[in-house]
Amino acid sequence: MSFRIISLDIDGTLTNSEKVITERTRKYLTDFQENGGKVILASGRPTAGIMPHAETLMLSRYGGYILAYNGGCAIECDSGRIMFQQKLPLEVIPGICEIIRDYPVGINTYQGSDIIAGNQINEYTELEARINGLGIRFTEDFPGYVSFDVNKCLLSGSPEVILELEKILSEKYGDILGIFRSESYFLEIVPKGIDKAASIDRLLGMIGISTGECIACGDGFNDISMLQYAGLGVAMSNAKDPVKEAADYVTLSNDEDGIAHLLKKLNAYHALPKSGAAHKLR
């Protein structure tokens, strides 16, 4: 089987530890596109934080796609058209803010080129801003300020606090919201049913590409569903163990050009058969 599309997580997958797409990785992805392949950038990042990488890979030229907010918003890069999106129900925000009020955690959402931050600004909020190249605007009244459409909120705090809040919020809102960790210090709060696999499936249906023709690559907890969904699920060697267990193959790390290594192997062998367990691509 040949692969026509590759879905890539960004942090820890497409980019190295310096948050840069290396020249070798860029070249292999350009070659993939030159030969008719399509690229999806599927990330928990907001749209503004994905766009610079989409520009590096020239997705507007080659007709690639962005799945921002863990798949909550799909964008066709050549036209800039929003293909589909789901919005967070604003009525849940006051209750969430009440629950987290006495916790050392920030609540964040996105407006234009800024993070809108409530409760507190901590080192993890600052990391999110730095990663995405966004400013931070703090508001004392987060529920009152956020009267505009949002695709997600993000809680930022220490792993211990995030784990505790994941349990509390899942018990209260799990029937109407998606609540999951994208990193040990980030808790994603999204509309129910949002995950990367569901959004990739919807996108592939719109553009006429089958699941079996799709590769998905990632390293984080929020990548597991798309690795299990794709025709070929590939974990980075720097991935968490549950991610590796969900994958068909494990490539080199993001600091070893793991995506370029994968594409080189695929070109050499045309396609890799699905297997019952993950194997390293060495």
The 10s digit of each residue's pLDDT in 157-198 is 999 999 999 999 999 999 999 999 888 999 999 999 898 999
Q: pLDDT over 70 for what percent of the chain?
A: 94
SS3 content of the chain, % helix, strand, coil (to 5): 40, 25, 35
Return the residue matching tokens 């990739």.
200
What's the chain's average pLDDT?
93
What value does the mean pLDDT take over residues 126-155? 96
Give every CB contact of residue 280 below 8 A, 6+ residues apart in sequence. 237, 249, 250, 251
What residues does 177 pair with on adjacent strands? 191
| Residue 157 CB-half CA count within 13 A | 24
Nearest to 114 by CA among 124, 96, 94, 128: 128
Nearest to 41 by CA among 132, 113, 163: 132
State the burial class of residue 184 (Cβ atoms within 10 Å of its Cβ: 0-12, 13-18, 19+).
middle
Q: What's residue 272's pLDDT?
A: 46
pLDDT in tens, 65-123: 999 999 999 999 999 999 999 999 999 999 999 999 999 999 999 999 999 999 999 99
Q: Which DSSP helix (H) or strand (E) runs through 266?
A: helix 258-269
Q: What's residue 2's pLDDT?
A: 85
Q: What's residue 183's pLDDT?
A: 85
**Residue 280: band (very low, low, confident or very high) from pLDDT cuts 50, 70, 90:** low
Domains of the chain: 5-86+194-280 (3.40.50.1000), 90-191 (3.30.1240.10)
pLDDT in tens, 38-56: 999 999 999 999 999 999 9
Q: What's residue 138's pLDDT?
A: 98
Is the four-CA dihedral 255, 230, 268, 282 of positive or negative sign?
positive
Name the pTM for this structure.
0.86
Q: Are 59 and 74 in contact (CB under 8 A)?
A: no
Q: What's residue 66's pLDDT?
A: 98
Q: Which DSSP helix (H) or strand (E) runs through 51?
A: helix 47-56
Q: Is the pLDDT of residue 271 over 50?
A: no
